[in-house]
Amino acid sequence: MAQVKPMRADARRNYERLLQEAAVAFAEHGEGASLDDIAKKAGVGSGTLYRHFPTRQALLEAVYVDRIEAIAARADEIAAGLPPGEALVEWLNELSMSMIQVRGLKALLGSAVTDGSSAVVTACGVSVKGAATRLVDAAQREGTLRGDVLPIEVLRLAHGVATASELANGGSAHIRRYLSLLTEGLRA
């Protein structure tokens, strides 16, 4: 097995500056922020950015990995305090709100819920899919969720709820309403 060589100090600084500038750029401009501008503001060339992050997707994931892990962890926290069906709905609400509040996150999660034929499986995707699977399985065992519903379908629908809510000016009231309409169709 090949051993991973630690990053040189200057490379680590470049990596960290790129992440900081990317977080600012994605917050201001969304996932379409200029990668060349990110590199320039970080004080490095575009080649350095692409050495660390070969794709826009890789950069998005690096910027948001902690947030995605926190969203996935919330699934277990919520499940500990609510019945399974309610826990699933509450987590989907929080997930949908996060997709609206954090620019670029919806695009990252959207790529995680594609059919998988063209998308690279990412750590973020694995984390969120795992959380969804735990919640969906529990709700199905409880009998509050249809047995034929797949976790990936629930994530795709949550992505759609976030998009629909954005079309209605992104208020949390819209997300709760849309989730309510959605979950009525998913009930056992």
CA 50/CA 64 separation, integer angstroms: 18
Is 2 inside any structural domain?
A: no
What are the phi and psi torsion angles at 42 (to 5°)?
A: -80, -5
pLDDT computed for residue 24 by the predictor:
92
Is 43 inside any structural domain?
A: yes
pLDDT computed for residue 121 by the predictor:
55
**Do residues 97 and 170 share a domain?**
yes
pTM of whole model > 0.85?
no
**Do residues 102 and 122 share a domain?**
yes
Count CB-CB contacts under 10 A for residue 161. Answer: 25
pLDDT computed for residue 152 by the predictor:
92
pLDDT computed for residue 6 by the predictor:
67
pLDDT computed for residue 173 by the predictor:
75
| CATH classification of the domain holding 46 | 1.10.10.60
Q: Which domain holds residue 70?
A: 57-186
CA 150/CA 140 separation, integer angstroms: 10
pLDDT computed for residue 154 by the predictor:
93
**Do residues 135 and 168 share a domain?**
yes
**Do residues 112 and 133 share a domain?**
yes
**Do residues 156 and 125 share a domain?**
yes
**Do residues 108 and 148 share a domain?**
yes
Q: Which of 19, 38, 54 is the last residue of a domain?
A: 54
Counting the structural domains of the chain, the total is: 2
**Do residues 62 and 33 share a domain?**
no
CA 71/CA 164 separation, integer angstroms: 20
CB-facing half-sphere around the CA of 49: CA atoms within 13 A: 24
**Do residues 82 and 170 share a domain?**
yes
- Say if residues 124 and 58 touch (Cβ distance below 8 Å): no
**Do residues 70 and 40 share a domain?**
no
Show pLDDT as tens, one digit a residue, over the chain (188 residues): 455 566 688 888 999 999 999 999 988 888 889 999 999 999 999 999 999 999 888 898 899 888 899 999 999 999 999 999 999 999 999 999 988 888 788 888 887 777 654 344 567 788 899 999 999 999 999 999 999 999 999 999 998 998 888 888 766 778 888 988 888 887 87
